[in-house]
């Protein structure tokens, strides 16, 4: 498994079903993210089981991502037609309904390979999540096996943590949440932080 953290996010051009339901045959990641953070998440297949719960969870929190200047992008090895059909299927019938972020069709599986989340034997992607900063670099990644649904609130927390450290120049200690104290990254900063927070860790 490749570690992409601190490396440029692999760029790609692909077909996508956009937020408004239109099909964009020339979706380019770097163009779409220009001026924004990105949260890319891979999932195995449309019309499956864990996947719709994750996609709906991302969509239910899309306003939080937008407030953080972060664009969410879903990716699977399905076609754009499958993506579109799933969006057109009501939630109560196992669909995902309308979404406020694009779904990428990775039919050639090249994107999943570039991000090293493809299970070659099964031809589907693991549940990989990648946080991309304003410079286009991956700053956080986590990969779950197929039965293990991800925590979307944790994805939001990581965006907040990245933006905190960029703004304040401090690091985010264990369990940091928005509004908590950061830590100055030197010996005195560690001592100061632990003297008042160690019992809460």
CATH number at residue 116: 3.40.30.10
What is the pLDDT at residue 1?
Answer: 67
Asked if residue 101 is part of any domain, the answer here is: yes
What is the pLDDT at residue 26?
Answer: 98
Asked if residue 186 is part of any domain, the answer here is: no
* Mean pLDDT (whole number) for 4-23: 98
Asked if residue 35 is part of any domain, the answer here is: yes
Q: Where are the beta strands (DSSP E) in 53-111?
A: 70-76, 103-105
The 10s digit of each residue's pLDDT in 150-176 is 999 999 999 999 999 999 999 999 999
The CA radius of gyration of the chain, in Å to the nearest whole number, is 18
Tell me the C-alpha distance between 145 and 74, whole Å.
17
* Catalytic residue list: 51
Residue numbers of the domain that contains 112 = 13-150
Contact call for residues 168 and 142 (beta carbons, < 8 A): no
The 10s digit of each residue's pLDDT in 54-84 is 999 999 999 999 999 999 999 999 999 999 9
Asked if residue 199 is part of any domain, the answer here is: no
The 10s digit of each residue's pLDDT in 98-136 is 999 999 999 999 999 999 999 999 999 999 999 999 999
Asked if residue 128 is part of any domain, the answer here is: yes
What is the pLDDT at residue 16?
Answer: 98
* Mean pLDDT (whole number) for 93-101: 95
What is the pLDDT at residue 102?
Answer: 98
Residue 199 has phi, psi (to 5 degrees) of -70, -20
Q: What angle do CA 133, 137, 138 make, to 5 degrees?
A: 85
Asked if residue 142 is part of any domain, the answer here is: yes
What is the pLDDT at residue 20?
Answer: 96
What count of residues does the chain have? 201
Q: What is the mean pLDDT of the chain?
A: 97
- Tell me the C-alpha to C-alpha distance, in Å, between residue 84 and each of 8, 39, 106, 111: 30, 21, 14, 19
Asked if residue 47 is part of any domain, the answer here is: yes
Asked if residue 174 is part of any domain, the answer here is: no
What is the pLDDT at residue 39?
Answer: 98
What is the pLDDT at residue 186?
Answer: 95
pLDDT of 29 over the 80 cut: yes
Number of domains into which the chain is organized: 1
Among left, alpha and beta (phi > 0; psi -120 to 50; other), residue 149 is beta
pLDDT-based confidence at residue 149 (cuts at 50, 70, 90): very high
């Amino acid at each position: 498994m490749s570690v992409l953290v601190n490396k440029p996010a692999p760029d790609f051009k692909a077909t996508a079903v956009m937020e408004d339901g239109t099909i964009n045959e020339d979706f380019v990641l770097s163009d779409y993210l220009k001026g924004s953070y990105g949260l890319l998440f891979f999932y195995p297949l449309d019309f499956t089981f864990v996947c719709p719960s994750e996609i709906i969870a991302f969509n239910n929190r899309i306003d939080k991502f937008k407030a953080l200047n972060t664009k969410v992008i879903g990716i699977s090895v399905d076609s754009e037609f499958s993506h579109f059909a799933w969006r057109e299927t009501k939630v109560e019938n196992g669909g995902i309904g309308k979404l406020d972020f694009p779904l990428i069709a990775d039919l050639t599986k090249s994107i999943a390979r570039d991000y090293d989340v493809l299970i070659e034997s099964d031809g589907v992607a693991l549940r990989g999540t990648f946080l991309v900063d304003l410079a286009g670099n991956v700053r956080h990644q986590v990969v779950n096996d197929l039965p293990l649904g991800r925590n979307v609130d944790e994805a939001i927390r990581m965006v907040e943590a990245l933006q905190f450290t960029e703004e304040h120049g401090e690091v985010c200690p264990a369990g940091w949440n928005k509004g908590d104290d950061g830590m100055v990254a030197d010996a005195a900063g560690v001592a100061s932080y632990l003297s008042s927070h160690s019992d809460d860790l």
